[in-house]
Amino acid sequence: MQTANLTTTLHSLLFLFPIIIGLIVAIFTLILIILMSVYFLKRILLKNKRELIWTPISSIERRSNLSYDEFTKQYASIGKPVIITDVVKNWKASEKWNFNFFKKKYGKINTDGVRDRNNGTNISMTIGDYIDYLETGYTDKSLYLIDFPLFDHPDLYEDCEVPIYCNNLLEKLPEKLLSKYGFHQYIFLFMGRKESSIGLHFDDFCTQAWLGVIYGRKRFILIPPDQQKFVYYGKVDAFNPDLEKFPLYANVKSVEFILNPGEIIYIPSMWWHQAENLDSTIALGFNTVNEWNLEMVLHSASKVNPIIGNLLGLLLEFPWLGKVVVASRLL
C-alpha cells in the first residue's frame, strides 16, 4: 500500500514538475517584460535630459575645500569646468611617482598604449624604453603614452584615490561585464615629454573627463560646445591654428590656463579641449557617467550600437540584473 502511494506521489510530482518550471519561466518572463517596459518608459520620460547643458565661462575657477553638493550644484549640473586644487596633492603619488619610480618598478612591462603622433598609430614598447625616450634630447619621434590602465597594475591604486566628485554610475555593474563590453572604469596613466600635445578633441560617448597632474605642468585650452562649428572636427591645432587652412577658427572663444602639479581639472561633456606639456609630465585621466550626463551617454552609445546602448541603460537601472546575466552566462 505504501509503495503504491509513493508511486502515485512520484507520478504526481513528475506531472507537476513541467508545470512548475513553466510557471517559473512565465513569471521570470513577465518580470522581464515589466522591467523592460519601465525602463523604456523612463527613457521616454527623460528624453529631455539628452539635451546638453553647459555654462559659458571667460576664465576657469580654482577651488579648494569643495563639497560634493557644491560641486554638483555649481559645476556638474550646469556643465561648467572647474580646477580642484587640493585633491591630487594629498595622494602618495604626488611624492612617490616620477620617471625613476616607473622605470625601476615597471620598466620591463610592455605596453601598446604609446601613440606615435606623427602618424596617429599606437606602437608597442616597454615602459623603460619609453622613459628613456622622454629623457633623451632632440628626436624626430613624437611619442605619447596615453594608455597605461591602472586596473592592470592594482598596486598603483594604493598611491591615489578617486575623488568624491568623480561619482561613476558604471561602478554598479559587475567587473566581468564591464571588462567584456569595454565599459571598464578605466583610470589611465599618461606620460608625455615637454612640448608634446594630445590633439583637440572631446571625450567619446558624452562622458565627463577628469585629469589630475602628478608631475610637471600642462597648458590647456577649453572650447565650449557651442563653438563646435569652428573647430573643424578637431583638426585644428588650438595652440598654433593655421587660419589660412581653418579660417573659421578665428571665431572661437576659448579659455586657456595652466594645470599645475597637484591640481585636477573637471571637463564636462562635449567640451573640446587640448593639452600641451610645458614639462615632461605624469598625469592620471579618467571618464565618468553620472546623473547629469547619463541620458546623453546612453543616447550616444545607442546611436553607435542600439543593443549595447540599451543594454547598458537597462543594467544601470537594475544592477541586480547584471549579476544574473553574468551568473547565467547569457552575455
Averages of pLDDT over runs of 10 residues in the chain (331 residues) are 57 65 80 78 76 93 96 96 93 94 94 84 92 80 84 87 87 71 69 89 92 96 96 95 97 97 96 95 92 90 82 81 68 59
What per-residue confidence (pLDDT) applies to 47?
74
Q: Would you state the pLDDT for residue 139?
A: 67
pLDDT at position 183: 55
Tell me, rounded to whole angstroms, the distance of Cα 22 from its chain centroid: 42
pLDDT of residue 182: 57
Alpha helices in the chain (DSSP H): 2-45, 68-74, 93-96, 99-106, 127-135, 175-180, 294-304, 306-317, 319-328
CATH 2.60.120.650, domain 53-308, yes or no: yes
Q: What is the pLDDT of residue 218?
A: 96
- What's the number of CA atoms in the CB half-sphere (13 Å) around residue 63? 19
Collapse the DSSP code of 198 into the 3-class scheme (helix H, G, I; strand E, B; otherwise coil) and give the result. strand
Kindly report the pTM of this predicted structure: 0.85
Helix residue ranges, H only, 75-227: 93-96, 99-106, 127-135, 175-180
Would you say the C-alpha torsion 225, 226, 227, 232 has a positive or negative sign? positive
Give pLDDT, residue 167: 85
d(CA 281, CA 196): 10
Look at residue 326 in the predicted model and tell me its pLDDT: 65
* Res 14: pLDDT: 62
pLDDT of residue 132: 92
pLDDT value of position 4 = 56
- 185 sits in the region (left: phi over 0; alpha: psi -120 to 50; else beta) called beta
